Each structure stands twice: as C-alpha cells, then as structure tokens.
Amino acid sequence: MQEQRSVLVLGGTGYIGGRLVPRLLEHGHRVRVLARSAGKLAEVPWREDVEVVEGDLLSPADVAAACAGIDVVVYLVHSLSASGSFEQTELQTAGNVARAARAAGVQRIVYLGGLHPDSAELSRHLASRKAVGDLFLASGVPTIALQAGIVIGSGSASFEMIRHLTEVLPYMPAPRWVRNKVQPIAVRDVLHYLLGAVEVAGAINRTFDIGGPDVLRYGQMMNGYAVEAGLPQRPIAALPVFTPWLASQWVNLVTPIPRRLAVPIIESLQYDCVVREHDIDALIPPPPGGLTGYRQAVRLALAKMRAGEVETSWHGASLDDAPADALPSDPDWAGHTVFIDEKSRETSAGIDDLWSVIEGIGGENGWYSFPLAWAVRGWLDKLVGGVGLSRGRRDTARLQTGEALDFWRVEHIERGRRLRLRAEMRMPGRGWLELETADDGGRRRYRQRAVYFPQGLAGRLYWYALVPFHGAIFSGMANRIVLEAEARTRRRTEHRS
C-alpha cells in the first residue's frame, strides 16, 4: 500500500498544478496549496479536499508556515515575464522555499524544469529554470528535478501555439528553429512522473530527463497537428531573418499566446532539446501501456476540447506585468480620480436566464455590443504586446475565479448575482467591469458598471477618447444582454406550455 504523505503544491493554481492536485488526492495524499489569494481556488472541484493557505513566495514567513508539517514540496512555479529581472525573483522565491523546507524537515522537493542542452549558451528563461533546479539540488533537501520539453495537452500554451499557427496560416514563414529537434511529452505523462516522484522511496538528489517516445522537428509537430485536425499539411519555409524577438511578435499577432508567454516558449526552441538519458525508467516505470506518442497526445487534446472537458488551461496563468490589484471598495475611492459608467435595465427575464447570459459572456459568445470596436481594441492590445481578445475562455458556459476571459480576468464571482472582471489589456490605468442581477420585490434588473482609475494625464485622455463610443459599447451591451436573457425566458416558457 502506498504511504500517505503530506504534500505542499506550489503552483497549484497553474496548468500543471491544477491537474496534479486531484491526482495526489486520488492516491490518498494530504494536500496543501499555497496561493496569494484563496479566492482563486474557490471554484475548483477539489477545493474542499485540500488545505489552502494564503501567502507569497517572496515572504520567508509565509513560505515557512506553508512548509510546516510537510513531507514533500512540489515546486511548479515559473515566471512568465518576458523582461526585467525575473531571474533574481525566481532565485529569491526558490531560495525561500529551499531554506524553509530544510528547516521544516521536508523529506523531498520535486521540481519541474526544462530540457536543455549542456553545451549551448542558454536563453534567459532556460538558464533561470536550470539555476532554480541547481539551487534545490544544493539545498540539503533531497530533490528530484524533472526536466521536460514541450508539454502537449488540452489547454497547454505550447499546444495552443502549435494549434493556432497551423490553423490560421495556410503557408508558414517560420524561424530556423522549426528545423530543430524537440521531444514533446503528453501532459498525462508529465503528471505520471510528478506523482511517481512524490511517492518513490529513498533520498534521491539529481536531475532526470523526461520526454515522450517521439523526437520531431517543430515543423513536423505542426503538420502532425494538421493531420489529426483534418487540415492539409502546411508548407513551411525556414527564414534566417526571424530572430526570437521577431518570432515572438509574429506569434503574438497570429495566436492567442501573448508576447510575454511566447518569448520563453520560443527561446526554448532555439536548441535541439531531447532526452539525453533514460535513468528515470529505473526509478519510475513508464505508465501502463507506455508513453503517449505525439500524434496520440494531439488526438486526446482535441477530443477534450471538443467535449468541453479542458481541465486546466494556460489562460489561468497570471502574467507578471498585468494589473493584479482588486477593485477597491467604494469608500476607498474618496480623494482619488475615478471614472464610472453605470447602466441599469429593468427586465422580464428570469434571474437564472439573465445570469446564464452574464456568465457566458466573452469568448465565442462575444460581448453583445459593437463587435468591430471590441475586435479593434483586441488587435491594438496585441500590437503593443498585450493578451488581446483571442485568449478566449476555458469553458463556454461556466467561469471560475482567477481564470482569464479574453483580455479580462475573473476577479470575483458570486454565482447567480455578480461577476466582476479585472482588465488585463494594456492601458494607462486600471479598469474593472461588473455585471449584476437584482430582484427588488419582484422587479428584476440588470446592472452594469465600468470602473476606471486613470494613471496620469495619459489615463485621463484615454478615458475621454473613449467617451464617444461608450453609448454604443456599454449601452449596447446592457440592452443586448437583457434582450438575450428575455428571449431565453420566452423560449423556456413556450417549451413548457
């Protein structure tokens, strides 16, 4: 019988961590998750089965409290910044974890890093991930540092980049790195090795390369996706003029992946990144049935997407330079410049129908007003390195606190009553959008409020420049949301009769 362990997952709100936690629970382990905001985990299905502690990895006291009584720490944190001194921040957070783990008597650290060659001068992101792994290995706490390449699964950033590049472009002008060899790995196999690293016995302290069974060129991965998606294979021309910076701009424009996330992915493709040793097999046997091939991983990811069963997504990743402050309460606005656009509509729609329209907003469902204006704003955001509108949403009908919604993020959701979105588009200030239902003594209403805190003169000019469009955008949104909700109520009533 597998020994039950207390496991601290750092990065439990991310793509890999959000999938690992329920699998740890299935194996009988006790799980603690550290998050800067516990509200971000309020809607996940395993919330009541884990201990959630609020804290910041940059705070030694928070990290020490999180490590108390823990057997294994799983470290799945990596900066998504494309600039700045993220390397120093990553070493600082990893150092806090290493010191706290050693002081708390943690038996093992499990770290997920990246495959990299030994001989090349590594990119900043790969070098930083290697440095974090080296720090853990020298920490005095036995560490299993798994090194993986491109992760393929529904919702993974690498898979979404391949998918959109292949689907959008009938002809692909590409950087020279499309000819480099990579060894992708299915997300289910990454989870298999992470779970195994938590459970294996012994004081092991070393790196292990992990990868799938296929070694491919990036161009072959794109055309492998095309075959599985029922698309013609794409002609690919490798051009020497595409620098990593220019390639990230190209990816930013033609895919939903923002430049800040595209940069570390593209930088990792500058080298041949393949498994150099298979020592992991002696420690953690491959999963039953063997490792998942690339084409099968694509097939499984597409099936999950079509069924609406994407468990976690890169959309939920927090971008380091995106606004992160919560909307202050109204009394806190005193003495500050704030612009507000409020709309209220009385409606005959049922509250449930009104809420279903509110919670379904964005993504493929759109924003119920002036589609061209929203599209232009999304493209402008892309041009300046923002996330743009094409980030979409994870689920077409249901939202969770903390997940991305086009160029917004769900800051708060009170299901059936209130949805608050925080703006993550590039702009000189901070913005929120609140959508609410209300039932005042049988008088049902829809309420909508856009709140904007300008930054300097540019922020004020930005708001005033948009004032002429507010009638079309905000009034149109309120009107069409109410009309759609009323139409749903009528259809439901007619169906019953």
- State residue 417's pLDDT score: 92
- State residue 22's pLDDT score: 95
49 in helix, strand or coil?
A: helix
For residue 54, give the nearest of 33, 35, 68, 77 by alpha carbon.
Answer: 35
Neighbouring residues of 289: CB distance < 8 A, sequence distance ≥ 6? none
Q: Which residues of the chain have pLDDT under 50?
A: 1, 82, 321
Q: Which helix (H) or strand (E) holds 43?
A: none
For residue 115, give the nearest of 295, 257, 272, 266 by alpha carbon.
Answer: 272
- State residue 453's pLDDT score: 86
248 DSSP assignment: H
CA distance 244 to 50: 41
360 in helix, strand or coil?
A: coil
- State residue 440's pLDDT score: 76
